Amino acid sequence: MTPTSSPDLSNAPIAAPALLGWKLLHQTEAGLTSGYIVETEAYLPDDPASHAFRGPGKANAPLFAEAGTIYVYFTYGKHYCVNLATGPAGNGQGVLIRALEPVEGIGLMQRRRGQERLEQLCSGPAKLVQAMAITKDLSGQPLAHGQLWLEPGFVPDAIRRTPRIGISQATDKLWRFVIAGNRFASKPVA
DNA sequence: CGTAAGATGAAG
DNA sequence: TTCATCTTACGG
């Protein structure tokens, strides 16, 4: 099976595993950084753990935009995380990008993170945002070549599903997707 | 208005 | 296990 030219973002639980293996790229003045997506989570409109659950607000509006819109949120007083909106416009759902396998701009990412080990560079939703220097300015914008965009990578041979990390509601749903055995995940799974 | 809790990470 | 440190949502 070969990668298609764009991932299926029609529905979060489909998009989340479909995004695994895709390369996420970010271009800044400092340089290009990129990595293969190795861990994602799906969030749905009627999902109490989702930022979209209580309807559109100031910060979460991009989740209700058309598929492929970038949603960057701030949390815990110091961290940013990045999502891609999925589903039709008006439907609040998306996929949280939780970990990357570093590919390009590794030196730049190491400097931004103050961290040498590749396994710790992008092994968490806020880590990869820091490594790639993704900012809230991108929230609400579409994926765009030369800014933040996706390119085909590889097709994972095995994907594991687990409960999502860091939530207190809907913990029974298996909406976290990880490439089996990948050592760049936030919490690797066999 | 005041306040609590949050899709986290790093240090102790 | 604790704490940093800010935004938003919700209660009074």
User: Separation of CA A2 and C1' C5 in angstroms?
Assistant: 45
- Encode pLDDT of A44-96 as tens digits: 999 999 999 999 988 999 999 999 999 999 999 999 999 999 999 999 999 99
Instruction: State whether the Cα torsion A140-A144-A147-A149 is positive or negative.
Output: positive
Containing H/E element for A34? strand A31-43
Nucleotide nearest to A169 (CA to C1'): B7
Model confidence pTM above 0.85:
yes
Residues A98-104 have a mean pLDDT of: 98
Give the integer Cα–Cα distance in Å for A168 and A10: 26
Give the integer Cα–Cα distance in Å for A141 and A120: 28
- Encode pLDDT of A151-165 as tens digits: 999 999 999 999 999
User: Separation of CA A128 and C1' B3 in angstroms?
Assistant: 31
User: Separation of CA A36 and C1' C5 in angstroms?
Assistant: 31
Detail the DSSP E strand segments found in A44-152: 70-75, 79-85, 94-104, 148-151
Give the integer Cα–Cα distance in Å for A141 and A68: 9
Is the pLDDT score of A190 beyond 70?
A: yes
CB A185 within 8 A of CB A99: yes
**Helices marked H in chain A:** 12-19, 106-113, 125-132
